[in-house]
A and B are shown apart, each in its own frame.
Chain A
Amino acid sequence: KQEVTQIPAALSVPEGENLVLNCSFTDSAIYNLQWFRQDPGKGLTSLLLIQSSQREQTSGRLNASLDKSSGRSTLYIAASQPGDSATYLCAVTGGADGLTFGKGTHLIIQP
């Protein structure tokens, strides 16, 4: 059974810092990996999707990498802003059609 782990569980940094969120998964037979952000009491907003054949994806200040063989992904956030404060979720698609999620990293950017 696929398991997804996100480290750290919580992170607080000053505004302007670059930061890295980590995601690992136990079964490397995935079709894709998706990063989301979730604001308190809200649904999920898709940030980046990496297909299993890709190594990385970029959107604005966000860059996500995927090392499928080692079961790892990172989400890099450049020049962090208070508006980036949210919970960041990593999820993979494997044999089933739905996503398997990690518990998330709760990120706080201090003004």
Chain B
Amino acid sequence: ETGVTQTPRHLVMGMTNKKSLKCEQHLGHNAMYWYKQSAKKPLELMFVYNFKEQTENNSVPSRFSPECPNSSHLFLHLHTLQPEDSALYLCASSQETGFYYNEQFFGPGTRLTVL
């Protein structure tokens, strides 16, 4: 595997289900991100993990719960979602040095549909 991978690629779930999205980066980076892409709206930052610590939570509802067990893996746990949460969820990673912000590399995304 190379780059940033995400599983599953497609997910359909009911509003009462609990599911998790997984992201893995094979680039040796130390920062990982979750973004949401809804129809007709710009990509929105959800969470940032830098050196495994969450540094940004962009006012995301608590039904989305991130987990970053190490610098290579990032999860997004989902529970009691709403139909408006249907979107493409993208994971990204970058190497942050603290001196300047570096290029972010994206995975292919998980297309989520909430029924």
B-binding residues in A (CB < 8 A): 4, 31-32, 34, 36, 41-46, 49, 51, 89, 91, 93, 96-104
Contacts and interface: CB of A to CB of B under 8 A. Distances in A.
Given A42-B108, A42-B109, A96-B48, A101 B43 contact: yes
Interface of B: 4, 6, 31, 33, 35, 40-45, 48, 50, 55-56, 58, 90, 92, 96, 100-109, 111
User: In terms of DSSP, what is the predominant structure of the interface of chain A?
Assistant: strand
Contacts of B90: 43-44
A49 B103 contact: yes
6 contacts: A32-B101, A42-B109, A46-B103, A97-B50, A97-B101, A98-B33
Nearest to A42: B108
A46 B105 CA distance: 7
B104 A34 contact: yes
B106 A103 contact: no
Contacts of A51: 100
A76 B30 CA distance: 32
